[in-house]
Amino acid sequence: MKARNLILILLLLIATIIIWLLVRENPQTVSTFIASKSTDTPEPPLLLQIESVSDAYPAIQQGDTIYTHTGFHLLYNEQYEQASWVAYILTREKVLAGTESRTENFRSDTAIVTGSATPGDYLRSGYDRGHLAPAADMKWSSAAMSESFLMSNMSPQTPGFNRGVWSRLENKVRDWALENDSILVITGPVFYGIEEYIGENLVGVPKYYFKVIADISPPDFKVISFLLENSSSREDLISFSVSIDSLETITGYDFFAAHPDQDMIDKMEARINTSGWF
């Protein structure tokens, strides 16, 4: 028994000497070994890497013209006389600094080279001049507030939709800006299946609208997207969440096309992402 104990002590001593020599020659060897045996650590947070709104445009096609206003950017669709989409970044600072009142100065957007819709197109149509970039998101600047009433930022929405579920979602977006510090918002109508037109300029009446919201503040990156029918609803907002892949199918847009890690984007777009939002 004494011989066996002596052998064990010698083996332990030899092992200790070997480890000491390894550490002296390469201090990272032991720590690396220990780390490899520990539980898996979470992957680094994913960042959208957006420094300006232009970094977040859906893929631009040849001939597309992007119009830049104080508070939002848009791609105008001449066929349906409204924006294909609007995009802007909303920050906690902008929400908290918002003191501007609604101007209600609906007017044509003279920047649109082909001519925009007019307020008269909506007159007695039964549809609201529904904001795509909400006026309440533009309270941080008098110019941004005023330009939010350009007709290029309007789309025909049923009153129950515009003043109901759509308004609830817009309010929620401002809450998310306060919670997350800085978010990207991309909003637009769905042109697929349009059958009704209003006004002299034949403004198309969408049956659906989409909204994509991304948290772009470090250290987190998360995204959520919605598809809502242009009608009244009392359903919870989360019930309208959809995958970005489904939005790309119905709109034809390629969201986050400029992101360098398209493998990550593909995985993200395939899921319905509500974690961390509700």
Give pLDDT, residue 218.
82
Give pLDDT, residue 116.
97
Give pLDDT, residue 56.
82
* Average of per-residue pLDDT across 214-228: 90
* Average of per-residue pLDDT across 218-233: 92
Give whole-number Cα distances, 78 to 81, 115, 218, 233, in Å: 5, 8, 38, 30
Distance, CA of 172 to CA of 91 (rounded, Å): 13
Give pLDDT, residue 167.
98
Distance, CA of 267 to CA of 50 (rounded, Å): 19
Give the residue among 225, 193, 187, 194 at the shortest CA–CA distance from 209.
187
Q: For residue 89, list its beta bridge partners.
A: 184
pLDDT band at 7 (very low <50, low <70, confident <90, very high): low
pLDDT at 247 over 60: yes
Domain positions in the chain: 2-37, 53-270
Give pLDDT, residue 164.
98
Give pLDDT, residue 25.
45
Greater confidence (236 vs 55) lies with 236
Look at the domain 53-270 and name its fold. Extracellular Endonuclease; Chain A (3.40.570)
Distance, CA of 266 to CA of 189 (rounded, Å): 23
Known active-site residue 69: no
pLDDT at 278 over 60: yes
pLDDT at 79 over 90: yes
Pair of tokens at residue 204: 């198309």
Q: For residue 212, list its beta bridge partners.
A: 186, 225
Q: What is this structure's pTM?
A: 0.82
Q: Mind listing the pLDDT tens digit for each residue in 103-120?
A: 999 999 999 999 999 999
Give pLDDT, residue 1.
52
DSSP 161-213: IIIIIHHHHHHHHHHHHHHHSEEEEEEEEE-TT---EETTTTEE--SEEEEEE
DSSP the chain: -HHHHHHHHHHHHHHHHHHHHHHHH-THHHHHHHHHHSPPPPPPPP----SSGGGGPPPPPTT--EEE-SS-EEEEETTTTEEEEEEEEEEHHHHHH--PPP----B--TT-TT----GGGGTTSS-EEEESS-GGGGTT-HHHHHHTTBGGGEEEE-HHIIIIIHHHHHHHHHHHHHHHSEEEEEEEEE-TT---EETTTTEE--SEEEEEEEE-STT--EEEEEEEESS---S-GGGGB--HHHHHHHH---TTTT-S-HHHHHHHHHS---TTT-
Question: Could you tell me what percent of the chain has a pLDDT over 90?
Answer: 71
Distance, CA of 189 to CA of 113 (rounded, Å): 21
pLDDT band at 277 (very low <50, low <70, confident <90, very high): very high
Give pLDDT, residue 3.
57
Q: Mind listing the pLDDT tens digit for each residue in 137-195?
A: 999 999 999 999 999 999 999 999 999 999 999 999 999 999 999 999 999 999 999 99
Give pLDDT, residue 110.
97
Give pLDDT, residue 49.
65
Distance, CA of 192 to CA of 96 (rounded, Å): 37
Task: Specify burial of residue 84 (Cβ count, 10 A radius: 0-12, 13-18, 19+).
Answer: buried
Give pLDDT, residue 169.
98
Q: What is the dihedral of CA 212, 147, 69, 61, to 10 degrees?
A: 60
* Average of per-residue pLDDT across 205-221: 92
pLDDT band at 68 (very low <50, low <70, confident <90, very high): very high
- Of the residues 69, 73, 131, 259, which is catalytic? 131
Do 275 and 212 touch, CB atoms closer than 8 A? Answer: no
